[in-house]
């Protein structure tokens, strides 16, 4: 009797402690809603305003994107294209000087932002830049995909307009104006932009010197709509600066609209080197011990305490069951329909038929090997074809031809939509003959 009372009291105390810990963590770690009025453009973010789909698209189409979590002073020759997508942390004068110096030596700087602080990269003695933001009465619940916003169209053929008929910006796209400066004097730095110290003044002078060496290049407008300039290119020394005024175009929510996905790939289409997404100015790798810094911003500490309490409770009760046995919970591991739909749309837009065939063929090999009682990781394609032919009665040469062609396409051979459909049809016929073809659930 005393033991039961002790167990009940222990669980009551445990419940109280967990409630208190969750209340504390709730007040400290409430998440900000993901909206275009407070976006998070990090490539880690899978929400509507994030850029993870853009990052994954570049990876799946054979490019070499990375997440840059170091100061821009370490760029040097490691990176060919540096993507800055609406950073959360403001660039200092020193960082702007380092980025412009890297660009002057041949780097390609792509700025995708609505913020006016980007003006510092674009202005020079001849051209001033004005970036005006307006929302048109939008609210936090506003969905920029459903409002009537005119599409942007290319002004002339270029590497950025290849395969692009129109791009779809959001209503949040700012008005970007380039105006010629009459007296051709260096533009005055914005208030608070130049740090009140010697290093900041040296950085400001370095920026002006780099812009003078680069010359007063004329901005080239590649895309525009009836409201604003959307995509502008500015040659800078041996490199160039590309400015896209609306990050919604490459966001998870907007990249699938119109020809936005083609423009996104065209932005980095000329690169065969490393494409770096700036995560440093989104708060990742900001210095110190990154592991401790990360966990200090999450309720992981509370989770560890809760787990320790639970483990202690289990050990204290000596793993005794207080009730009838229950079946193991089988969680639903299916992907979210939205993510599947988005990835399917990206594969279709990028014409990644080889990737689609790879997914189908890999599943085919696993299920056929399981049915034939063989190890799929050990058997060769020729041996697999022989066993399939023996089971189905098909000609071994026919089966080998199908499997060989699938392998060739997966490893880079050119193909077409019709050929992939034909190969998938042949694979389904083989599955049907073996008896492993998936069937729809009958409605009772």
CA distance 13 to 31: 29
CA distance 174 to 114: 6
**CA-wise closest residue to 429 among 405, 379, 394:** 394
pLDDT of residue 135: 59
Same domain, residue pair 217 and 104: yes
End-to-end CA separation in angstroms for the chain: 52
Query: Percent of the chain scored above 90 by pLDDT?
Result: 23
pLDDT of residue 356: 77
The predicted-structure confidence for 48-98, as pLDDT tens digits, reads as follows 899 999 999 999 988 999 999 999 888 887 899 999 998 888 888 889 899
Domain boundary among 263, 282, 301: 282
CA distance 55 to 250: 10
CA distance 136 to 148: 12
**CA-wise closest residue to 240 among 255, 222, 227, 224:** 222
Domain boundary among 251, 282, 313: 282
Q: Is residue 143 part of a domain?
A: yes
Which of 119-123, 263-267, 280-284 is predicted with the least confidence, judged by mean pLDDT?
119-123
Q: pTM of this prediction?
A: 0.57
| Res. 228 pLDDT band, cuts 50 70 90 | confident
pLDDT of residue 275: 94
Q: Is residue 295 part of a domain?
A: no
Burial 184-222 (b: 16+ CB within 10 A, else e): eeebeeeeebbeeeeebeebbebbbebbeebeebebbbb
Query: Which token pair is 241?
Result: 């600066």
Q: What is the mean pLDDT of the chain?
A: 78
Mean pLDDT of 243-257: 92
**How is the chain split among helix, strand and coil, in percent rounded to 5?**
45, 15, 45
Cβ(194)–Cβ(93) below 8 Å: yes
Domain boundary among 265, 282, 299: 282
pLDDT of residue 221: 92
Burial class of residue 74 (count of CB atoms within 10 Å of its CB; 0-12, 13-18, 19+): exposed
Q: Is residue 255 part of a domain?
A: yes
pLDDT at 196 over 60: no
Phi, psi dihedral angles at 441 (to 5 degrees): -70, 130
Number of independent structural domains in the chain: 2
The predicted-structure confidence for 388-426, as pLDDT tens digits, reads as follows 888 888 888 888 888 888 888 888 888 888 888 888 888
Same domain, residue pair 243 and 366: no
pLDDT at 107 over 80: yes
pLDDT of residue 129: 80
pLDDT of residue 140: 46
Q: Which position has the higher pLDDT, 177 or 26?
A: 177
Phi, psi dihedral angles at 61 (to 5 degrees): -100, 20
Same domain, residue pair 267 and 393: no
Q: Is residue 297 part of a domain?
A: no
Domain range enclosing 130: 52-282
Mean pLDDT of 138-149: 56
């Amino acid at each position: 009797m005393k033991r039961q009372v002790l167990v009940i009291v222990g669980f009551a105390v445990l419940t109280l402690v967990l409630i208190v810990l969750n209340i504390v963590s709730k007040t400290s770690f409430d998440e900000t809603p993901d909206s275009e009025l407070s976006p998070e453009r990090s490539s880690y973010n899978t929400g509507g305003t994030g850029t993870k789909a853009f990052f994954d698209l570049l990876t799946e189409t054979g490019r070499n994107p990375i997440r840059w979590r170091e100061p821009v002073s370490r760029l040097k020759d490691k990176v060919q294209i540096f993507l800055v997508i609406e950073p959360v942390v403001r660039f200092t004068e020193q960082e702007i000087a380092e980025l412009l110096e890297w660009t002057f030596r041949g780097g390609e700087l792509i700025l995708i932002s609505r913020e006016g602080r980007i003006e510092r990269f674009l202005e020079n003695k001849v051209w001033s830049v004005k970036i005006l933001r307006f929302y048109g009465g939008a609210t936090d619940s506003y969905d920029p995909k459903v409002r009537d916003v005119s599409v942007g169209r290319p002004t002339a053929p270029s590497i950025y307009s290849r395969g692009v008929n129109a791009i779809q910006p959001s209503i949040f796209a700012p008005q970007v104006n380039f105006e010629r400066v009459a007296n051709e004097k260096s533009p005055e730095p914005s208030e608070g932009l130049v740090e009140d110290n010697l290093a900041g003044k040296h950085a400001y002078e370095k920026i002006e010197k780099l812009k003078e060496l680069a010359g007063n290049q004329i901005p080239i407008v590649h895309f525009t709509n009836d409201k604003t300039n959307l995509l502008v290119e500015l040659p800078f020394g041996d490199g160039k600066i590309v400015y896209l005024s609306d990050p919604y175009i490459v966001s998870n929510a907007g990249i699938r609209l119109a020809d936005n996905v083609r423009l996104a790939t065209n932005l980095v289409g000329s690169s065969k080197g490393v494409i770096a997404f700036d995560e440093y100015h989104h708060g990742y790798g900001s210095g110190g011990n990154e592991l401790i810094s990360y966990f200090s911003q999450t309720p992981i500490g509370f989770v560890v305490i809760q787990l320790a309490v639970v483990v202690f409770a289990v050990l204290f009760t000596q793993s005794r069951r207080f009730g009838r046995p229950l079946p193991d919970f089988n969680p639903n591991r299916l992907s979210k329909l939205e993510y599947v739909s988005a990835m399917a749309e990206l594969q279709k837009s990028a014409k990644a038929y080889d990737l689609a065939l790879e997914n189908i063929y890999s599943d085919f090999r696993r299920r056929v090997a399981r049915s034939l009682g063989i190890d799929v990781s050990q058997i060769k394609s020729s041996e697999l074809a022989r066993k399939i032919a023996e089971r189905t009665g098909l000609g071994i040469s026919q089966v080998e031809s199908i499997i060989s062609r699938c392998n060739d396409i997966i490893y880079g051979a050119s193909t077409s939509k019709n050929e992939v459909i034909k190969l998938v049809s042949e694979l389904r016929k083989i599955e049907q003959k073996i008896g492993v073809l998936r069937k729809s659930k009958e409605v009772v």
